Amino acid sequence: MKSEMLEIVNENDEVIGQETRTKIHQEGLLHREIHVYFITPHGEIIFQHRAKDKDTYPDKLDATVGGHVEPGMDYEKTAIKECEEETGIKIDSKKLILLAKLRKQSFDEITNTKNNTFRAQYAYLYNEPINNLKVEAGKGLGFEAWKINNLPNLTNEEKNKFISVFLEEDMLELYSKMKGLLIK
């Protein structure tokens, strides 16, 4: 089986080479990812529950959609492609809202892998029932909607359901920014 190749970038987010996804996560090499958060009119963010056998952060809540930027692609095209693959929803690029591009690092203690990324964070206003979302086979267990207002005050048991980086201060600020999109 051929390993997925990804681009390695420098601190200026400029491509400097390629390496396998496995080596990138083993060595913590800087690469590109996207996250798309589906926001409901009820002030919720829909999180994806990752499969129990994922190579990073198994059985944890993640962004609605997430993915690596493949060689030759950009952040926005990746976001649109991944939304269709992971939810079955075809996104109109005009409705995809770039919130921020963050430099993030995390360590998965379960799999001993390092995620070192530039991550474009997008919001998408989702007005359909959550059960209309289709889980990508083998990638996830389903979707869960969480009230944005509740995210800063989760119990330890609730926090343990999430990939920890999603509950850091900069992410909570980003969620607050998403809630502001609903007021307009």
CATH number at residue 171: 3.90.79.10
Q: Is 55 helix (H, G, I), strand (E, B) or coil?
A: coil
* pLDDT > 90? residue 179: no
pLDDT band at 78 (very low <50, low <70, confident <90, very high): very high
* pLDDT > 90? residue 110: no
Span 90-102, average pLDDT: 94
pLDDT band at 159 (very low <50, low <70, confident <90, very high): very high
φ, ψ of residue 15 to 5 degrees: the values are: -65, 130
Span 36-41, average pLDDT: 96
Predicted TM-score of the model (pTM): 0.91
CA 17 to chain centre: 23
pLDDT band at 24 (very low <50, low <70, confident <90, very high): very high
How many domains does the chain contain in total? 1
Strands (DSSP E) found in the chain: 5-9, 15-20, 30-39, 44-50, 61-62, 65-68, 96-108, 113-125, 140-147
pLDDT band at 1 (very low <50, low <70, confident <90, very high): very low
pLDDT attached to residue 184:
53
Beta bridge partners of 147: 44
What domain range is 175 assigned to?
5-183
- The 10 Å CB-count burial string (b at 16+, else e) for 96-128 is bbebeebebebebeeeebbbbbbbbbbbbebee
Among 70-84, 116-130, 164-178, the least confident range = 164-178
